[in-house]
């Protein structure tokens, strides 16, 4: 069913600060069900592949270095209206602009080290989920 899944990834700043559990608690209490989850690391090349949409942006190289600097926790989540509701739960890219109570408002350190990723469309949620997980038809 379209629209009921999204992809997220806890970023190295949040995982490194031992905030994974606190963030996952917020995600589950907001009604998202975890379909798939693992703890892993990206090489700079794999990070570049994941964020290829930003390859011409001035921050791309820094972003790839940052995203490969520590452990990440990618997850596939399920909930009605998942993509839009999850973007609301995480808040704006820049933590200084993220609404009070959002995950980035609570945990992000900077516009780059902003704690968590959230897919921006149903189409990208599928592409990004497949980037990290296989055999998804079983779940
Ligand atoms: P994601 O959920 O991670 O995709 O974030 P987003 O959709 O809120 O933002 P966007 O896709 O525009 O940017 C991807 C990531 O690049 C951000 O989450 C940040 O980690 C990083 N980023 C975005 N803008 C800047 C910037 O101006 N400077 C730096 N250093 N990093 C940025
Ligand atoms: Mg984005």
Structural domains in the chain, CATH included, are: 5-134 (3.30.70.141)
Q: Taking phi first (over 0 means left), then psi (-120 to 50 degrees means alpha), and beta for anything else, what does residue 74 get?
A: beta
Q: Which residues line ligand 1 (CB under 6 A)?
A: 54, 59, 62-63, 93, 111-112, 114, 117-118, 120
Nearest alpha carbon, ligand 1 atom 29: 112
Mean pLDDT, to the nearest integer, of 23-40? 98
CA of 119 to the centre of ligand 2 (A): 6
Residue 29 CB-half CA count within 13 A: 8
pLDDT of amino acid 2: 55
pLDDT score of 1 more than 50: no
Furthest CA-CA distance within the chain = 40
The ligand that comes nearest to the alpha carbon of residue 57 is 1
CA of 132 to the centre of ligand 1 (A): 19
Residue 58, token pair as written in the block:
């001035």
| 53 CA closest ligand 1 atom index | 11
CB 107 within 8 A of CB 116: yes
CB 74 within 8 A of CB 37: yes
47-71 pLDDT, tens digit per residue, is 999 999 999 999 999 999 999 999 9
pLDDT score of 139 more than 90: no
pLDDT of amino acid 136: 79
pTM: 0.95
Better-predicted residue by pLDDT, 121 or 1:
121
> What's the rounded Cα separation, in Å, for the pair 132 and 74?
7
């Amino acid at each position: 069913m379209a629209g009921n899944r999204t992809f997220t990834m806890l970023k190295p700043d949040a995982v490194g600060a031992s905030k994974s559990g606190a963030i996952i608690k917020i995600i589950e209490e907001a009604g998202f069900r975890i379909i798939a989850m693992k703890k892993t690391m990206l090489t700079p090349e794999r990070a570049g592949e994941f964020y290829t949409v930003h390859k011409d942006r001035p921050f791309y190289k820094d972003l790839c270095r940052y995203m490969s600097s520590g452990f990440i926790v990618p997850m596939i989540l399920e909930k009605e209206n998942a993509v839009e509701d999850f973007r609301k739960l995480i808040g704006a890219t820049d933590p200084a602009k993220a609404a009070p109570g959002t995950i980035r408002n609570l945990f992000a350190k900077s516009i780059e080290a902003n704690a968590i990723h959230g897919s921006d469309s149903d189409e990208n949620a599928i592409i990004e989920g497949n980037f990290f997980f296989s055999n998804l038809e079983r779940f």
